[in-house]
Amino acid sequence: MYNAASLIVSLIALVLSGFATVRQTRHARSESDMTWVLEVAMRNIRDKEFQSDQRYVLTQLARDHPPDGGMDALPEPARSMTRNVAFTYEYIAIMYALGMVDSRVALGIFHFRISQVWVTLEPYIRAEREARQAPCCPFFESFYVHASGKPAEDVLRSIGLRSLRGFLPHR
């Protein structure tokens, strides 16, 4: 009888320990996600230089320079601005692909911009791949594919965000 009681108490302790471990892991992951968001979104993405470079890429790059030869063939300062934007999104996409951040958080924050920037830079990245005969921004492309396959509203719904007019922002 004493052995059975000891076994039951041990099993309960083991289950509670496992539960506590899972909770601590989730909490650590949540803190990691927040650190990531603050690090990338607040420092890199909100940086005035990055914002200026991104505005140039989205509004003027295609008018000023054809994609022939890729990003590295662009004259300065277009080359530096384009590389800053492309490789910032490549860095974000690497963290997304490696599971370093909750995919819903990454897609929820960057869904609109990742699509807009990829569509603009795709011809330059493809030309860069051709010039290098090597991959260029493969994580960025994969992140775009994931984003384009999921409407932003569905991503936000999966996080549980609400809007004033209902469960999620309506079109």
Domain ranges of the chain: 30-159
Contact 93, 140 (CB under 8 A): yes
- Mean pLDDT to the nearest integer, 137-153: 91
Query: Residue 105's pLDDT is what?
Result: 81
pTM, whole model, 2 decimals? 0.73
List, in order, residues 6 or more apart from 120 with CB less than 8 Å away.
57, 58, 61, 62
More confident residue, 127 or 22: 127
Three-state SS at 143: helix
The residue assigned the tokens 């892991």 is: 25
Q: How many residues does the chain have?
A: 171
Give the phi and the psi of residue 47 in degrees, each rounded to 5: -60, 135
Q: Indicate if the pLDDT at residue 18 is higher than 70.
A: no
What does the mean pLDDT of the chain come to?
A: 82
Contacts of 110 (CB under 8 A, 6+ apart): 89, 92, 143, 147
Instruction: List the Cα angle 89/136/56 in 5-degree steps.
Output: 50
In this prediction, residues 38-63 reach a mean pLDDT of 85
| pLDDT tier, 133 (very low <50, low <70, confident <90, very high otherwise) | very high
Neighbours of 100 (CB within 10 A): 13
| For residue 164, pLDDT beyond 60 | yes
* Cα Rg, the chain, nearest whole Å: 22
User: Which amino acid would we find at residue 95?
Assistant: M
* 166: β partners: 163
Q: Quick one: pLDDT at residue 104?
A: 84
